[in-house]
Structure 1
């Protein structure tokens, strides 16, 4: 595919963007760290596995409840203010969770739900704030820089957190997560204030305006459907089956660790590539990248060498960032600015919000039909859903041709 190099100045030279990048990175680390720290608490017998499940379920419920509400609020009011209050909610919930984890499950679950709500509330606001403070020709590089920080965190943070756990208990680590949320709340720059006063008919009516805005963009609906299908099938299936295959087929945990690390390294490579690459047809390139995830369940289906599984996860990670960065960039470019947070909230709600549903259904499906049948269906879905989305004319460029 033809492409050209980026001619605009580097977004990394902008102090405004660096403040935004620091805040989103802090929120990303805090979001990742909570389930990991709670998992370490299970290992140290501070909490039980059942309590861990309750706390993570509470966090997910808080996230799902807050995302649509935040989308409306971030379009009604200053995005910077929504980020501030979202971060403060999570920051204040952290010491409560630290104080009651392992003691009162009810209070700890409420605190976990509050942290999930803060996490969910900041996501659409950050997306809209990025469109406010970053110039159009720099957004692809900006989105790539932010996803790079997430991938680097995923790669190095588990080891660092495990080392910290040797000298600090669960409570101290949870307070550290609260400090990260303070950074996310206080550091971001002010935006340009592109907001809508709302319809005056309430949250539901205002959120439905965002849905109508999303429906004006057929490429968005097609891409969101493809992304949701890949996450609900391929992502969920490999999350459940990969540990089983690593244990039963290869008789080692090294395949599990290697595949997860390979996925992150592939995503890092994808983010670095798409930061400067301008494909001629960005939408088709992104959907092709999304379809590459199908090689992950396919590698688990076939009796291949372990290195083939690891290579498949490198390809899957590479492809997911070839999708993510152009997807976010196109949404920020094409959607009506005063409705961007609501459309972004619909994106997060449908794609990542339905991931737990996929995870919950995969295990019973494997029990009923067997892992090979489930993996085959998931692989086909991962390849077919982006291909069907690519048939929508405006999907070629994620918007009208320019």
Structure 2
């Protein structure tokens, strides 16, 4: 006769509470490296702008150098995605960050002496930046378990926003005691931190393959993996549309409107600061908030960027413009953090870097196109119609993306399956 189970066997064990990701040494090392790379990426155009003020670089030269960096980024982000899925993500981070570190002294050597050398060094810096981005995304999925990735991604974006907020003042202070060449070498040191500090991942690393397909075949395999997730295709289309229109329109129109309508640069500075502060608030909120329909909530946050160009259309009080930019900042992080987390959760681990590279290629790649087209459009049609069209696109395209069935949760799986897998 079978015995009855003991009473303790009938009780359901309480779920284990995961420790904060901020107490995880492996994550903190990865966070430090990612933060250093983000700060170095932000600092380069700012320092080169100081070089223009210092007359060691012409405005035309600045444009050429920044264009070379963008070209290097776009080429290397695709290559880096394939390499990070073929080999160790840690190794790709190491060598790409070292390439960017080597570019810094070359930029310093060419400053005021050789514009071609500076352009080549900027392309190398952009290549290092582009190659490490998908590798960092995939490495996060290896270092952090699924249940803590949203918190981890929020911590990453918080570091980026704090750098953007405090970086200009810090760089300006350093420029008082250091020349431009020394600041460029400091950027190289940041890239060395990004190269050397992160550790190896412990889970989810791509399995080695006995036979390797061609580079093109592996890249196309990443595209097929992305298309297997309709929510990803829809969300990426929405993100690209918002960056190419709303972000570009406000980047071009805000300085002009601040000067011509409000008579000073105060509105420009206040709105830019409000956007960063709003993004900080959004990252803090989404670190713990789990909406029931997370994908649609994220797309609603993305659509909120439309209030920024909308606020610039009419002669409203400057406080309205500042508040609109704060709302846009909150919304962009309500999208970014769940977006990165869902990609790390849903995409097959061995193809994660390639899918992430598609994200960066389209969203970053079309931004310069938008910036180049917005100014002529404003000149031809006027600011109000262009800003209105951009605001409409920002509202409409994310709303259409939200209608894709799998966009509700940024997942092809049912909620119960995601919960069982630790994704919630």
- TM-score (normalizing by structure 1): 0.97
RMSD, aligned CA: 1.1
Structure 1 match to 2:10: none
Q: Distance in 2 between matches of 1:350 and 1:332?
A: 18
Unaligned ranges ≥5, structure 2: 1-15, 416-424
State yes or no: 1:389 paired with 2:401: yes
Matched residue SS, 1:276: coil
Counterpart pick for 2:195 among 185, 191, 200? 185
**Conserved 8 A contact 1:211-1:343:** yes
**Conserved 8 A contact 1:240-1:363:** yes
Structure 2 match to 1:348: 360
State yes or no: 1:149 paired with 2:159: yes
Counterpart pick for 2:125 among 115, 132, 140? 115
- TM-score (normalizing by structure 2): 0.92
State yes or no: 1:71 paired with 2:84: no
Q: Distance in 2 between matches of 1:8 and 1:374?
A: 48
Deviation string for 1:337-379 (max 9, x for gaps)?
0000000000000111110011011111111111111000000
**Conserved 8 A contact 1:243-1:256:** yes
Structure possessing the higher radius of gyration over alpha carbons? 2
Query: More deviation in 345-354 or 185-194?
Result: 185-194
Structure 2 match to 1:333: 345
- TM-superposed deviation, 1:7: 4.9
Matched residue SS, 1:45: coil
- TM-superposed deviation, 1:241: 0.2
Compared with structure 1, are the counterparts of its residues 124 and 347 closer, same or farther at alpha carbon in structure 2 (3 Å cutoff)?
Answer: same
Structure 2 match to 1:216: 228
Counterpart pick for 1:173 among 176, 183, 186? 183
Structure 1 match to 2:238: 226
Counterpart pick for 1:128 among 130, 135, 138? 138
Matched residue SS, 1:47: coil
Structure 2 match to 1:245: 257
Structure 1 match to 2:274: 262
State yes or no: 1:95 paired with 2:105: yes
Q: Distance in 1 between matches of 2:28 and 2:165?
A: 21
Counterpart pick for 1:194 among 189, 206, 227? 206
Counterpart pick for 2:391 among 379, 384, 389? 379
Unaligned ranges ≥5, structure 1: 1-5
- TM-superposed deviation, 1:203: 1.2
Deviation string for 1:198-251 (max 9, x for gaps)?
963321111000000000000000000000000000000000000000001100
Deviation string for 1:71-91 (max 9, x for gaps)?
000000000000000010001
Q: Distance in 2 between matches of 1:138 and 1:334?
A: 15
Q: Distance in 2 between matches of 1:172 and 1:314?
A: 35
Q: Distance in 1 between matches of 2:252 and 2:18?
A: 43
Q: Distance in 2 between matches of 1:257 and 1:195?
A: 48
- TM-superposed deviation, 1:63: 0.3
Q: Distance in 2 between matches of 1:264 and 1:300?
A: 18
Compared with structure 1, are the counterparts of its residues 242 and 199 closer, same or farther at alpha carbon in structure 2 (3 Å cutoff)?
Answer: farther
**Conserved 8 A contact 1:394-1:401:** no
Counterpart pick for 2:94 among 76, 81, 84? 84
- TM-superposed deviation, 1:390: 0.2
Structure 1 match to 2:173: 163
Matched residue SS, 1:321: helix
How many residues are paired up?
397
Structure 2 match to 1:3: none
